[in-house]
Chain A
Amino acid sequence: MNTEDYEIVLKARAADRLTAMDYIDGMISDFTELHGDRLYGDDRAVIGGIGFIMDIPVTVIGIEKGKNTKERIEHNFGSAAPEGYRKALRLMKQAEKFKRPVLCLVDTAGAYCGIEAEEHGQGRAIADNLYEMSTLRVPILSIVIGEGGSGGALALAHADRIWMVEDAYFSVVSPENCANILWKDTGKASDAANALSLTANKLFQAGLIDKVLKGNDMKGIKSQVYKEFLGLLQRNPEDLIEDRYRRFRKVGY
């Protein structure tokens, strides 16, 4: 029985893994955090702000899980509420105004499911991001750095380029939930992980993501992000939007 894929899922969730804040520290200089969605609140599961990557001003948005118990509680274990997705969208719109590219760092088991999250429109918040990001006039690059949990991850990955760290996963459903729904047996999570085809390498081979990154090579990742932004910034916004449309238009067909 091949358990490799499930091991990647477990690795992607490991407590000692680099979080979004580590990537921001490693890649962004003069990082200035910006809070709040201007509608209701400030969701700490999503951190956002502005800074430089080398000499390019960028907007950075990341889903943060936290490093220790205190931080994890503060960041709600990286499960964002609607306010988090709306903060992200506010910052993306701001990036559009100032013609800054957007870097998204995705690391979530999934959008938060709770009574408040539902009543504040979790579905609508995610839908709005997909909708608005599809015509954002600046480049968007999303990197899945750990967990890419379903719609809650996709809401920050409607991008020109989707990259994944080699031991990250991106899936429509968690393997445990999948096994539970299909076979009423969470123990079969490993089988589900295989079947779901959720690892960076498999998704790259299927043409669903654009690049697989070596983990723990912050310098390398930084220079690749920088180069990609340099290239994308050359495009005029109409072409960029058209290519982004095509990128998703061809999925599954």
Chain B
Amino acid sequence: MEFKKFFLKANNELEGVNLLPRARRVTCKKCQKQVPVSRIRKNFFVCPECGNYFGVRSRRRVLMLCDRRSFKELYGELQSRNILDFPEYDDKLSAAMEKSREKEGVICGEGTIGGIRTCIFAMDANFMMGSMGAVVGEKITRLFEYACDNSLPVIGVTVSGGARMQEGMISLMQMSKVSAAVKRHSDKGNLYVVLLTNPTTGGVDASFAMLGDITLAEPGARVGFAGPRVIEKTLNQSLPKGFQRAERVMECGFIDQVVPRDKQKEVLERILRIHCV
């Protein structure tokens, strides 16, 4: 009985998570093979047939990285408003909430990884392509301030199309707001590790995604400032193979390591251990 209660409570903290997808098989977009969901889950949401990386929703991402039942969400109550009365934004927010089963495009909180206390945030591609508006900026800023006050490291998992157009300059200025909070956290000697996932672009790439002490990336993740189609259109030429992919960006000197999904927890544990002696 006690155990059941505890389990329910732990699950409540992760409200909205559907740990058991209804479909038993899904078709991999890359190799077109039907793969049982159970195998995909066991394989860290990487296609067991072709190695294709499926997107991972923010909450599952946190569960994959944090120690079991250690994650406690922070600022989960914050919700976006249509500040500028931007056309169709209200509908888009509702659709995004339904699709992502989240209230906003990032979840923040505290947990342990390998027994070491850390703050963590993970963005969600299902929420308006992980775009950053006032609430995303506010939640991440609050997390850095909390981590700074409590001398905790921050692990950030990024996925984003950039600043959220529907909030105009308010969303652009979140880049400044978060970057300033990262600086304060850093100046106190705290660690910030970024894990770049596909895609991390635009205003997020040009702010906190590029400000980690250590920058990791998922294999094949697109990392860059301008969208590839914009560049193609501007230059009127096709782009070289591997352009803006994590492996190439590492060659260019902007990523420390490309880490496969099944090794990410292990690598983060090691990095935290080295910094938390």
Task: Say whether A170 faces chain B, with CB atoms less than 8 Å apart.
Answer: yes
A231: interface (CB < 8 Å): no
Of B14-22, B84-92, B268-276, the one contacting chain A is B84-92
0 or 1 for each of B92-131: is its CB under 8 Å from A? (1 = yes)? 0000000000000000000000000000000000000000
Q: Which secondary structure dominates chain A's binding surface?
A: helix
Q: Of B87, B163, B248, which is within 8 A of A172 by CB?
A: B163
Among B46-54, B61-69, B172-180, the one that faces the other chain is B172-180
Q: Are B226 and A118 in contact (CB under 8 A)?
A: yes
Q: Contact: A123 with B225, CB < 8 Å? A: yes
Pick the contact of A252: B137, B182, B205 (CB < 8 A): B137
Instruction: Report the minimum CB–CB distance from A248 to chain B (whole Å).
Output: 4
Decide if A126 touches B170 in the complex (CB within 8 Å): no
Nearest-neighbor residue (CB-CB) of A250 within chain B: B177
B254 contacts A251, C-beta separation under 8 Å: no
**Cross-chain contact of A114 among B88, B134, B187, B234 (Cβ < 8 A):** B234
CA distance A114 to B184 in the complex (A): 32
Q: How many residues of A contact B (CB 8 A)?
A: 49
Residues of B within 8 A of A195 (CB): 84, 86-87, 168
Inter-chain contact B179/A127, CB cutoff 8 Å:
yes
Contacts between the two chains (Cβ within 8 Å), count: 172
Chain B neighbourhood of A182, CB < 8 A? 88, 165
**Which residues between 203 and 228 of chain B lie within 8 Å of chain A, taking CB atoms?**
203, 205-211, 223-226
Q: Collect the chain B residues with CB atoms within 8 Å of residue A184's CB.
A: none
B26: interface (CB < 8 Å) = no
B58 cross-chain contacts in A, Cβ below 8 A:
none
Tell me the smallest distance from the CB of B182 to a CB of chain A, in Å.
7
Interface size on B, residues (CB 8 A): 57
Asked if B156 is at the interface of the complex by the 8 Å CB criterion, the answer is no
From B168, B174, B230, B240, contact of A196 by CB (8 A): B168
Partner of B177, one of A115, A171, A178, A251: A251
Contact check, A130 vs B179: say whether CB atoms are below 8 A apart: yes
Report the Cα distance A249→B202, complex, angstroms: 21
Contacts of B164 in A (CB 8 A): 172
Does B206 lie within 8 Å of A123, measured CB to CB? Answer: yes
**Distance (whole angstroms) from the CB of B86 to the closest CB of chain A:** 5
In the assembled complex, which residues on chain A have CB atoms less than 8 Å from the CB atom of B247?
none
Q: A114-B235, A124-B210, A127-B206 are in contact. Are A251 and B173 (CB under 8 A)?
A: yes
| B31 beta carbon closer than 8 Å to chain A | no
Residue among B168, B206, B210 with most chain A CB within 10 A: B206
Mark interface residues in A129-166 (1 if CB within 8 Å of B CB, else 0): 01110110000000000000011001101100000000
A122 and B134 in contact (CB under 8 A), knowing A114-B234, A178-B165? no
A134→B180 contact, CB < 8 A: yes
- Tell whether, in the assembled complex, residue A134 and residue B168 are in contact, meaning their CB atoms are under 8 Å apart: no
B224 — which chain A residues lie within 8 A by C-beta?
118, 122-123
User: A-side interface residues toward B, CB under 8 Å?
Assistant: 111, 113-115, 117-124, 126-128, 130-132, 134-135, 150-151, 154-155, 157-158, 170-173, 177-178, 181-182, 191, 195-198, 203, 206, 208, 244-245, 248-249, 251-253
Ordered nearest first, which 4 A-B pairs have the shortest CB separation?
Answer: A252-B134, A113-B226, A134-B180, A123-B205
